[in-house]
């Protein structure tokens, strides 16, 4: 099969599985559901705990991270249900091609929905603020919108690579969701600057207008998250190439 045909088949598989397609759409839906009450009850100044007006506009992206991780995990775990991986490898015997196509589709879908989510969240939130709103021309705002989409795509790839390695979405979600919701904050109190190199916290640097004290900066932060995703993807590729289907 040609690369184009494999890419198309992988997209069809993701789109046709309710759990994976639903988790992809949840990136946008969940973020908007949290955006509305945040702005209705707090406003932008209070939403930004660090007093950064751009970061305050993206508070709901915190919840989109969970949805992006869920998408990456579920989009891969469907291959390990009912012997689906054996069928996929029968159609595409080149395991590297199969792996590359699946992760490419996950990345493209997550990036597209992530960008739509970031821009929609920003624009909807600012529309609710009236005179206190900021625009895309605000320093750091456009960068944050684009960076947020990239950050969500990298987290989806991070989860996808781990799922190929561990063969279980439940296990991956059981590790990553508590890590983002609880562990990184607990570690942050004890580890100091080292916490900024965790995959979720590093990528969030791009959401700030001004780099916070001790931060590593927006693009270096995304680069750190990309390294985490690359490590997970390499581990997943090793697992797919070495293990029995």
144 burial via Cβ count (<10 Å: 0-12, 13-18, 19+): buried
Using an 8 Å Cβ cutoff, are 28 and 163 in contact?
no
Angle at 57 between CA 155 and CA 219, to 5 degrees: 45
Using an 8 Å Cβ cutoff, are 108 and 47 in contact?
no
CA distance 201 to 9: 34
What Cα–Cα distance (Å) separates residue 74 from each residue in 138, 157, 203?
A: 36, 11, 22
> What are the residues whose beta carbons fall under 8 Å from the beta carbon of 122, sequence distance 6 or more?
57, 58, 136, 141, 144, 145
Tell me if the pTM is above 0.75: yes
76-129 per-position pLDDT tens digit: 998 888 778 888 888 888 999 999 999 999 999 999 999 999 999 999 888 887
154-177 per-position pLDDT tens digit: 999 999 999 999 999 999 999 998
Residue of higher predicted confidence among 193 and 13: 13
Angle at 75 between CA 69 and CA 81, to 5 degrees: 125
Using an 8 Å Cβ cutoff, are 180 and 188 in contact?
no
37, pLDDT greater than 50: yes
> What are the residues whose beta carbons fall under 8 Å from the beta carbon of 96, sequence distance 6 or more?
237, 241
45, pLDDT greater than 60: no
For residue 208, which of 150, 141, 151 has the smallest C-alpha distance? 141
43, pLDDT greater than 70: no
Using an 8 Å Cβ cutoff, are 130 and 43 in contact?
no
CA distance 128 to 140: 20
């Amino acid at each position: 099969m040609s690369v184009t045909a494999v890419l198309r088949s992988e997209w069809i598989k993701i789109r046709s599985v309710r759990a994976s397609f639903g988790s992809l759409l949840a990136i946008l839906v969940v973020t908007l559901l949290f955006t509305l009450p945040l702005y209705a009850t707090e406003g932008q100044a209070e939403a930004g705990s660090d007093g950064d007006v751009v970061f305050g506009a993206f508070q709901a992206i915190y919840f989109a991270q969970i949805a992006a991780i869920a998408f990456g995990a579920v989009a891969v775990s469907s291959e390990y249900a009912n012997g689906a991986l054996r069928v996929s490898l029968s159609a595409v015997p080149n395991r590297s091609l199969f792996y590359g196509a699946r992760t490419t589709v996950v990345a493209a879908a997550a990036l597209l929905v992530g960008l739509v989510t970031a821009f929609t969240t920003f624009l909807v939130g600012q529309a609710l603020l009236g005179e206190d709103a900021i625009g895309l021309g605000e320093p750091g705002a456009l960068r944050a919108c684009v960076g947020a989409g990239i950050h969500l795509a990298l987290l989806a790839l991070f989860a996808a690579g781990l799922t190929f390695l561990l063969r279980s979405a439940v296990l991956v979600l059981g590790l990553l969701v508590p890590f983002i919701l609880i562990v990184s904050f607990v570690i942050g109190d004890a580890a100091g600057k080292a916490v900024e190199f965790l995959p979720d916290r590093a990528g969030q640097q791009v959401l700030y207008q001004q780099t916070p004290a001790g931060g590593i900066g927006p693009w270096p932060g995304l680069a750190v998250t990309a390294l985490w995703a690359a490590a997970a993807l390499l581990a997943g590729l090793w697992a797919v190439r070495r293990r029995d289907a």
